[in-house]
Structure 1
Amino acid sequence: MRIDIEDLTVEIAGARLVSDATLGAGQGQLVGLVGPNGSGKSTLLRCVYRALRPSAGTVRLDGEDLYAMSPRESARRLAALPQEAASEFDFTVAEVVAMGRTPHQSSVGRATEADRTACARALAGVGAAHLADRGFLTLSGGEKQRVLIARALAQEPRLLVLDEPTNHLDIAQQLDVLALVRDSGPTVLTSLHDLNLAALHCDLLHVIAGGRIVASGAPYDVLTPELLAEVFGVRAHRVPHPETGALQLLFDRLGPARTDS
């Protein structure tokens, strides 16, 4: 599935949080949205998964207006993992993941063999099959995150929208989860804080600052020392990964180093 976001603007209580954002992701691509805290990443993604209606602009899925679709129809095409996805009820892990099948079920809501297979495959894929009978509220932060990603994958979306999916995960889990979503099939639009993870896994990056897209392109072309100094306020050193050759970044403070007096 292709997603195109065109001239998207969000104003809330007189404040413009996103301004004329235009970006896209092609079929099967993993596309990252990066920028400093408060730059508008989450606000933009909330418009994509319909938690927020933009003040202007459009979001199109394979050319169709997202906001002209019924919630059920868009949920069959798109799954999302918000940055804060709390659950106040102590469902089991299996029950949480099964919620991802709701858009595909009839009004009766009975699980089919296809539903059970999709849920089992998603839990196994994130390494959480052993948690199926646990209460969701008893899990650690990292375990909860893996279960919520499994719920999104069980939905079998053609577009997966992830807002900081590596939150609460240790280093190995971060690498595993991003590799998993890349290999799972759908087009992926994700926000990421870790620029090295973004450089390693993303086909394209869109850099947002002050609510505006200021750069778009392949990670090597976008993550330049000049842009990182301007947008993130850091001095960056670009080095190749010793085994893969992928771009890696080392950071220093932009200003002069402080010395003890």
Structure 2
Amino acid sequence: MQVDVDALTVDISGARLVQDVTLRAGSGQFVGLVGPNGSGKSTLLRCVYRALRPTAGMVRLDGEDLLSLSARESARRLAALPQEAVAEFDFTVAEVVAMGRLPHQGAVARTTDEDRRTCRAALEGVGAGHLADRGFLTLSGGEKQRVLIARALAQQPRVLVLDEPTNHLDIAQQLEVLALVRAGGLTVLTALHDLNLAALHCDLIHVIDAGRIVASGAPHDVLTPELLADVFKVRAHRVPHPATGAVQLLFDRLPSP
């Protein structure tokens, strides 16, 4: 499923947080948003998963205006893991993951054997099957994040929107989770803080600064020392990853003027 963001603008309390952003995540692509803190990444993604209505422009799923769909129908097509998603659920892990099945159930939610199989597979897929009977509140931050990713996968969407999905994860978990998401064949639109993770996993990167897209393209073409100095205010040294050849970055401070 293709996601198109068309001329999106967001104004909140008199401040323009996103300015005329247009981008596309093609079917099955893994597309990253990178940019400094406060650049507009999360605001843009909140429009994509319907937590925020844009001031102008629209989001389309395979050509359909997202806001023309019912909440249930959009939830069948698109799942999201917001940055602030670690909430204080007083449920077991299995119950939290089962929430991802709600868009597929009728008015009277009844959990089927298929729902249970889907939830088990999602938990196992993120390496959290052993947590099924644990209380959500007893988990570490990294464990909670994996469970919430499993909940999104249990929703069986065709589009996955992730806002800093590797928060609270150690490096092995970061690599495992992003590889898992990529292997699922979904269309993925994600904000990533770690530029090296973005370079390793993304087909396409959009760099956003002060609410505008300032560069778009393959990681090797976009993550240049000149752009990183301009947008992130750091000096970057590019090296090839020894196994994949993907561009990787070493950073230090810009010299004083």
TM-score, with structure 1 as normaliser: 0.97
Native 8 Å contact 2:86 2:145 kept in 1: no
The equivalences for 1:101-180 within 5 A come to 101-180=101-180
Secondary structure of 1:255's match? coil
In structure 2, how many angstroms separate the alpha carbons of the residues matched to 1:138 and 1:40? 33
Query: RMSD over aligned Cα, in angstroms?
Result: 1.0
Task: Give 1:88 deviation, angstroms.
Answer: 2.8
Which 5+ residue runs of structure 2 have no aligned equivalent?
Answer: none
Checking the alignment, whether the CA contact within 8 Å between 2:92 and 2:135 is kept in structure 1 is yes
The separation in 1 between residues aligned to 2:137 and 2:128, in whole angstroms, is 15
Question: 1:73 — aligned with what?
Answer: 73
Which amino acid letter does the alignment assign opposite residue 255 of structure 2? G
Deviation, 1:118, is 0.8
Q: Distance in 1 between matches of 2:103 and 2:184?
A: 19
Question: Shift of the alpha carbon at 1:113?
Answer: 1.6
Aligned to 2:182: 182
Aligned residues between the structures: 257
Q: Tell me the distance in 2 between the aligned counterparts of 1:186 and 1:246.
A: 22
1:30-109 paired onto structure 2 within 5 Å: 30-109=30-109
Displacement, 1:256? Answer: 3.8
Partner of 2:201: 201
Inter-partner Cα distance in structure 1 for 2:256 and 2:165: 34
2:133 alignment partner AA: D
Distance 1:221 1:215 in 2: 9
SS in 2 for 1:149: helix
CA distance in 2, matches of 1:116, 1:101: 9
CA distance in 1, matches of 2:5, 2:246: 28
SS of residue matched to 1:11: strand
For 1:118 and 1:35, locate their aligned partners in 2 and report how far apart those are by CA, in whole Å: 35
1:85 is paired with a residue whose SS is coil
1:243 aligns with 2:232: no
Q: Secondary structure at the match of 2:114?
A: helix
Q: CA deviation at 1:167?
A: 0.1
Structure 1: distance between partners of 2:15 and 2:168: 30
Identical positions, percent: 80
Which amino acid is the alignment partner of residue 15 of structure 1? A
Q: Which residue pairs with 1:212 in the alignment?
A: 212
Once residues 256 and 210 of structure 2 are traced to their aligned partners in structure 1, the CA distance between those partners, rounded to angstroms, is 25
Structure 1 gap segments, 5+ residues each: none
Q: In the alignment, which residue of structure 2 is the partner of 1:230?
A: 230
Moved over 6 A (4+): none
Q: What is the rounded CA distance, in whole Å, between the counterparts of 2:22 and 2:15 in structure 1?
A: 19
Alpha-carbon shift at residue 89 of structure 1 (Å): 3.1
Taking structure 2 as the reference length, the TM-score comes to: 0.99
1:13 counterpart residue number: 13
1:86 to partner: Cα distance: 3.2
One-letter code of the match for 1:45? L
C-alpha separation in 2, matches of 1:89 and 1:64:
33
CA–CA separation in structure 1 for the residues paired with 2:58 and 2:6:
5
Give the Å deviation of 1:100.
0.2
Q: Is the 8 A contact 2:215 2:222 kept in 1?
A: yes
